[in-house]
Amino acid sequence: MSATPAPAGPPAEGAEEKIALDVKQQIRRVVQGDLASVRVVFGLALIWIIFQVQEPRFLSDQNLTNLMLQITAIGLISVGIVYVLLLGEIDLSVGAVSGLCAAIMTVLNVKHGWSPYLAIAAGIAAGAFIGCVQGFLFSRFEVPSFVVTLAGLLAWQGALLQVLGQTGTININDPKIVGLANTFYSDTVGWIMAAVVIVAYGLIAGLGFRRRVTAGLADNNPVPVIVRFVVVAVVTIVAVYVFNGSRGVPLAVLIFVAFVVGMEFVVKRTGFGRHVFAVGGNDEAARRAGIRVNGVRVAVFTIAGAMAAIGGIMAASRLLAVNQGSGGNELLLLAIAGPVIAGTSLFGGRGSVWTALLGAMVIGSISNGMDLLSLSSAIKYMVTGGVLLLAVLVDAIAKQQRQTRGRA
């Protein structure tokens, strides 16, 4: 007697239910902020489509290259801001610090004959020192970071005027400093860089996956790793193709991406990074766990000051000068708005350094697109403010949902 085959209906229905449940879980993760980058990428794609329909030049190689150059300085400052936001704090002085440190570099190089390398190092050291002082005042005397850095905003603007003196504007002529934002690599070099990045990422991802499987920290399904590799490869190839269609791969963008990758590694793969998340999530629990909370805070504000200096130096290199308005205007607001829009929480303990890049691209795309459409500054400010408010509301709603889920 042959065995009666089991009916095929129930297993299929069970598989369909599992797939539907997985889809719902992923959607819920996007809404609650666990996959905020996915939400931002879709938003960025929508922004690009809207502006491309209105202005066909928007997605041209030339304009996309200009867009990346425009966001580099703001993005570098945002890298430091991400660390501060992970603590649940704020730094309102980064704009003024960026202008002051760029002025220090320029004065030392132009007026005092310092070598470009020493002048750049002095500017970055000044930013790190300022951040360290502000972090010490905030942590040691428990003065709210908002107040300390607001005072710094005013003080460093005055220091900028003092450093510039009666000159007002100082032009930069040193080729090493100017080259930071105005160096472009040939097509061949660009493709070689792309190949190195893709191969290196593939090796790192593959070895990391194998190590996690051996340690029992992951299953044997390689699909997620392969998907991430394909995404990185496609993005790298498209980026190099676009840059080569214009002037070549810009050194400034390479510097920006290198800082994003390096600082992301620090915050996600080192003990210091875990301490930053712990302090931002619950400083009292972190203190009881033996973490030096004040030391972490001082270190984070030092990093923010140094990154502000680097961003200011990059901005001065691109503009070929520093003046009394360096680090002013909307620079501070955009540097803070970018990471928040891209998913770094204002409430601390949640975020990624990649949001500095994604957020800068969102903010930069909106500004660049409205410039191409010749919209007024009033419209630009209102639209940017509306996008920031929407991002904060989404963050607040996501936090409420996570709290509800935690109590359930």
**Strands 321-322 vs 184-185: parallel, antiparallel or unpaired:** unpaired
Q: Is the pLDDT of residue 6 over 70?
A: no
Q: Is the pLDDT of residue 303 over 60?
A: yes
Percent of the chain with pLDDT over 90: 69
Q: Is the pLDDT of residue 27 over 60?
A: no
Over range 318-336, report the average pLDDT.
Answer: 91
3-state secondary structure (DSSP) of residue 144: coil
Name the band, by pLDDT with cuts 50, 70 and 90, for residue 343: confident
For tokens 């030092």, name the residue.
302
Stated pTM of the model = 0.89
Name the token pair of 389: 């408010």
Over range 219-239, report the average pLDDT.
Answer: 90
Asked whether the beta carbons of 120 and 104 are under 8 A apart, the reply is: no
C-alpha pair distances (Å), 360 with each of 162, 232, 244, 351: 31, 19, 22, 15
Q: How far apart are CA 352 and CA 276, in angstroms?
A: 12
Q: How far apart are CA 288 and CA 61, in angstroms?
A: 53
Asked whether the beta carbons of 122 and 163 are under 8 A apart, the reply is: no
Asked whether the beta carbons of 358 and 342 are under 8 A apart, the reply is: yes
Name the token pair of 88: 């649940």
C-alpha pair distances (Å), 63 with each of 21, 190, 239: 42, 18, 13
Over range 81-102, report the average pLDDT.
Answer: 96
Name the band, by pLDDT with cuts 50, 70 and 90, for residue 30: very low
Nearest residue to 381 (alpha-carbon basis) of 336, 329, 341: 329
Q: How far apart are CA 136 and CA 126, in angstroms?
A: 15
Over range 261-277, report the average pLDDT.
Answer: 95
Over range 145-164, report the average pLDDT.
Answer: 95
> What's the confidence (pLDDT) of residue 328?
86
C-alpha pair distances (Å), 359 with each of 53, 336, 344, 347, 362: 22, 9, 9, 17, 5
Name the band, by pLDDT with cuts 50, 70 and 90, for residue 31: very low
Task: Indicate the average pLDDT of the chain.
Answer: 88
- Residue with the bigger pLDDT between 287 and 13: it is 287
Asked whether the beta carbons of 310 and 252 are under 8 A apart, the reply is: no
> What's the confidence (pLDDT) of residue 17?
54
Asked whether the beta carbons of 365 and 51 are under 8 A apart, the reply is: yes
Q: Is the pLDDT of residue 229 over 70?
A: yes
Q: For residue range 107-127, what is the model confidence (pLDDT) as tens digits?
A: 999 999 999 999 999 999 999
**Who's near 225: CB < 8 A, 6+ residues apart?**
205, 206, 209
Over range 374-402, report the average pLDDT.
Answer: 80
Over range 80-87, report the average pLDDT.
Answer: 96
> What's the confidence (pLDDT) of residue 13?
53
Q: How far apart are CA 299 and CA 276, in angstroms?
A: 10
> What's the confidence (pLDDT) of residue 14?
55
